[in-house]
Structure 1
Amino acid sequence: MADLKGSEPSEVPTEVPAKEQTSETKKKAPKPRKPTGQQGRAVRTRAAKSGKQAHTSEAVSPTVRTVRRTFSEKERAQKLGEIEKQTGRGESIKDAVKKAGISEQTYYQWKKAAGQTLGDELKDLVKLEEENLRLKKLLADRLRKENAELRKKLGLG
């Protein structure tokens, strides 16, 4: 073991003193920063800005989002109806949407989607009205013919 293939003991570091290890680790890990001039202030969350009570978990991490809710078609129609009623009373869309518990973007997307489905329903309604008109005319013609036959039989016409 005396022959280490040309390596000298001065080249191989044995143990690094404890003082050197701690100084190197201090350089690698950043020190936690203390807030300057803001000690004792609470973290302001989105809920605190809007006036709502913040939960303790929200105060710790202000970027916590609520779970996305999926609404059924009936619920969407109800919410759109509520918003339309409130705006009809003179309330702003922003306030009405806030009371409904959805965002303005969601409101406009739902309104757009409802408009497209209403367009399909309107087309169907127009077709039904046209058919109704055709049937009314057909019934009126038959009743006129029956009326004319009855007048002939009775000798009134």
Structure 2
Amino acid sequence: MSQFPEAGAKAPAFSLARDGGGTVALKDFKGRKLVLYFYPKANTTGCTKEAIAFNGLKAAFAAADTDILGVSADAVSAQDKFKAKYDLAFPLGSDPDKAMLEAYGVWVEKSMYGRKYMGIERATLLIGRDGKVARTWPKVKVAGHAEEVLKAAQELG
């Protein structure tokens, strides 16, 4: 199992099915900054709050020349419904086979009420124009997170 990338590391390449059909790949963002955030499951409370927070700051991220991509293991059909329900203005990647999630070290063993299971660790990366990880947020708490990521994107220049 891979480790969560550290700042300065080259971001692992990926290509995923995305909402609305088609694919989304790391190379699509070449020369731009990218907020790559991982969330456990569409339409759950924390994931919905996080998506709405990033979406609400979409114009500010665009002004900072920064794109946003959300990724989960949900099927494309679930991503489509999630995006439509909350009118999200950024792409959602689908990784049901978890290859990309494993490459980024966010497919991890979790525990709830003493039961262990595999799931997605809520985490975010800010990838610079050079394709390298500029900043990381492992084990994200949703409140204030999108604003903190925006500030980092603005400072990255």
Q: TM-score range by the shorter chain?
A: under 0.3
Q: Greater strand share, 1 or 2?
A: 2
Larger radius of gyration: 1
TM-score by length of 1: 0.21
State the structure with bigger RCO (CA 8 A, min sep 6), 1 or 2: 2
TM-score by length of 2: 0.21
Q: Greater helix share, 1 or 2?
A: 1
